[in-house]
């Protein structure tokens, strides 16, 4: 097993909470991690029909099988059990009894927050981070292969071709998760919608344009974006409110959590296609921001990430709130930097004044250094920024 950074955080949380709830996309390694943390405790998956039936029909007897706690996998499949867990841990009073896992925010979070408030801590586990792949000695050698492969664990654990695994993943995702929420005849349209979203990664999300191109209503597009967010396919980056006497855009930007998945949806199958693809810069920006999100989530922290763009096109790719300060980050996919590469950060630093903490520029090269008071960071070291 490849060591996950989040393991240390989970062990720390289990010392202060009776339950830790672990969420994230399918196949991100939640079950493997939960078993590693609780290697001496029982494991049960509520995806299995007989176990789910037992848990639904007699929750007390089902939980009595685990007097010292357990890993309860895909717990959103049996929401009834959560209220009984509340009673059980309140009576027991021991910490570190259960790890609950689930893949769907919409199916899990509402039930957990209602029934287990104050009794559980939450962790979100995304696919591998660059530092985890590097430590295991399996980090792709160059950025184009990295963007093409993505970070889903099965691709590395089973040494699969990314395209073969991602094809099966998309099919399973549509059949298993989306079918529960969408009408059957809309699935083909939804698949088209997902591909159109991949073509917009790293760009402003114009729902009206997306809906028109897909042939659906604005409200349907809005609902489907919510489904993709809840399933950890995409995330939305909101614009920062600091205006500095400028008119700001109000639309969020859309990003995929995994560039391998986005690249597959775009039809990119080889490194040569990636190198020349018009969306390579968008995919690189997607990759870096997702990596920085992983850095925060692996520590058990919620990322306070934004972007900044005014009506004149002045933009900073990423703004990170750090206490009362703002850290501006520019992202450049090229391996070579020029004087112009620093222009946006320098302009924003002048506008923001005392609010700025050390700016950073993350690029497609390997070296890291300081230039003009700006941290220049190679893509392999981006996670070390935070």
pLDDT at 152: 97
Contacting residues for 87 by C-beta, under 8 A, at least 6 apart: none
Classify residue 67: in a domain, yes or no.
yes
Alpha helices in the chain (DSSP H): 6-14, 30-37, 49-57, 59-63, 81-92, 105-115, 130-135, 143-149, 153-157, 162-176, 187-198, 207-214, 218-230, 259-265, 271-276, 280-298, 343-352
* Residue 61 burial (CB count, 10 A): 10
Query: Which residues, in sequence order, are bridge partners of residue 318?
Result: 329
This prediction's pTM: 0.94
Higher pLDDT among residues 309 and 136, named by residue = 136
DSSP code at position 240: P
User: Is 65 a domain residue?
Assistant: yes
pLDDT band for position 159 (50/70/90)? confident
Sheet holding 19-23, edge to edge: 43-45, 70-73, 98-102, 19-23, 120-124
- Mapping DSSP onto H, E and C, the string for 291-348 reads HHHHHHHHCCCCCCEEEEEECCCCEEEEEEEECCEEEEEEEECCCCCCHHHHHHHHHH
307: closest CA among 373, 386, 248, 385?
Answer: 248
Per-residue pLDDT at 243: 66
Domain count, the chain: 1
Rounded mean pLDDT, 111-132: 89
Range name among 27-31, 132-136, 179-183, 321-325 with the lowest pLDDT average? 179-183
pLDDT at 311 over 80: no
Distance CA 190, CA 231 (A): 14
Q: What angle do CA 128, 273, 153 make, to 5 degrees?
A: 15
- Of 144-158, 182-196, 222-236, least confident by mean pLDDT is 182-196
The answer to whether residue 106 scores a pLDDT higher than 70 is no
Give the angle 297-375-263 at the CA atoms, nearest 5°: 55
- What is the residue-averaged pLDDT of the chain? 92
**Per-residue model confidence as pLDDT tens digits over 184-222:** 577 888 889 999 999 999 999 999 999 999 999 999 999
What is residue 204's DSSP assignment? E
Select from 256, 255, 236, 230 the least CA-distant residue to 103.
230
118: CATH: 3.40.50.300
pLDDT reading at 22 higher than 90: yes
Mean pLDDT of 51-70: 95
Residue 51 has pLDDT above 90, yes or no: yes
Least confidently predicted of 19-33, 79-93, 255-269, 303-317: 303-317
Lowest mean pLDDT among 170-184, 265-279, 331-345: 170-184
Angle between the N-to-C axes of helices 207-214 and 187-198, in degrees from 0 to 180, rounded to the nearest 10? 130
Q: Which residues pair with 325 in a beta bridge?
A: 322
Residue 244: predicted pLDDT? 66
Q: pLDDT at residue 314 above 90?
A: no
Inform me whether the pLDDT recorded for 107 exceeds 60. Answer: no
Residue 243 resides in a domain: no
Q: Which residues contact 42 (CB under 8 A, 6 or more apart)?
A: 65, 66, 70, 71
pLDDT at 177: 72
**Residue 109 pLDDT > 80:** no
Q: How far apart are CA 2 and CA 10, in angstroms?
A: 16
Strands 360-363 and 325-332: parallel
In a domain, 19, yes or no: yes
pLDDT of residue 110: 65
Q: Is residue 137 part of a domain?
A: no
235-289: pLDDT as tens digits = 999 998 776 666 677 899 999 999 999 999 999 999 999 999 999 999 999 999 9
pLDDT surpassing 90 at residue 117: no
User: Which residues form the domain of 34?
Assistant: 6-124
pLDDT at residue number 355: 86
What number is the average pLDDT over the span 351-361?
89
Task: Kindly state whether residue 143 falls inside one of the protein's structural domains.
Answer: no
Question: Does residue 285 sit within a domain?
Answer: no
Q: How far is CA 58 from CA 26, 97, 155, in A?
A: 28, 20, 39
In a domain, 306, yes or no: no
At residue 247, the pLDDT reads 65
- B/e letters for 309-326, b = 16+ CB within 10 Å, e = fewer, are bbeeeeebbbbbeeeeeb
If residue 21 lies in a helix (H) or strand (E), which one and from where to where? Answer: strand 19-23
Cα–Cα separations (whole angstroms), residue 351 to 307, 328, 348 = 15, 12, 5
Tell me what the mean pLDDT of segment 49-68 comes to: 95
């Amino acid at each position: 097993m490849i060591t996950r950074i989040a393991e240390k955080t989970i062990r720390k949380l289990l010392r202060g909470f009776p339950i830790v709830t672990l969420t994230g996309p399918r196949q991100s390694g939640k079950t493997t991690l939960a078993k590693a943390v609780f290697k001496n405790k029982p494991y049960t998956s509520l995806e299995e029909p007989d176990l789910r039936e037992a848990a639904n029909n007699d929750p007390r007897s089902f939980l009595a099988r685990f007097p010292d706690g357990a890993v309860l996998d895909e717990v959103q499949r049996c929401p009834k059990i959560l209220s009984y867990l509340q009673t059980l841990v309140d009576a027991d009073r021991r910490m570190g009894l259960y790890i609950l896992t689930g893949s769907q925010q919409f199916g899990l979070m509402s039930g957990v927050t209602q029934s287990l408030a104050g009794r559980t801590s939450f962790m979100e586990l995304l696919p591998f981070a660059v530092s985890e792949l590097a430590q295991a000695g399996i980090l792709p050698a160059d950025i184009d292969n990295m963007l093409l492969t993505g970070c889903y664990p099965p691709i590395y654990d089973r040494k699969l071709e990314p395209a073969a695994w991602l094809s099966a993943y998309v099919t399973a995702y549509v059949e298993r998760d989306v079918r529960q929420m969408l009408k059957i005849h809309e699935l083909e349209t939804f698949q088209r919608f997902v591909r159109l979203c991949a073509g917009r990664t790293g760009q402003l999300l114009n729902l009206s344009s997306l809906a028109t191109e897909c042939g659906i209503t604005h409200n349907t597009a809005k609902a489907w974006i919510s489904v993709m967010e809840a399933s950890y396919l995409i995330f939305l980056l909101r614009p920062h409110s600091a205006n500095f006497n400028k008119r700001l855009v109000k639309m969020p930007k859309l990003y995929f959590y995994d560039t391998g998945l986005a690249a597959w949806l775009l039809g990119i199958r080889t490194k040569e296609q990636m190198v020349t693809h018009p969306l390579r810069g968008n995919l690189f920006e997607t990759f870096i921001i997702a990596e920085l999100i992983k850095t925060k989530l692996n520590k058990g922290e919620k990322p306070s990430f934004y972007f900044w763009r005014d009506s004149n096109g002045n933009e900073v790719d990423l703004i990170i709130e750090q206490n009362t300060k703002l850290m501006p980050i520019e992202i450049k996919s090229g391996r070579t930097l020029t004087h112009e590469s620093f222009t946006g950060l320098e302009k924003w630093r002048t506008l923001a004044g005392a609010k700025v903490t050390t700016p950073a520029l993350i690029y497609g090269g390997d070296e890291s250094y300081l230039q003009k008071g700006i941290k220049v960071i190679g893509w392999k070291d981006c996670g070390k920024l935070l």
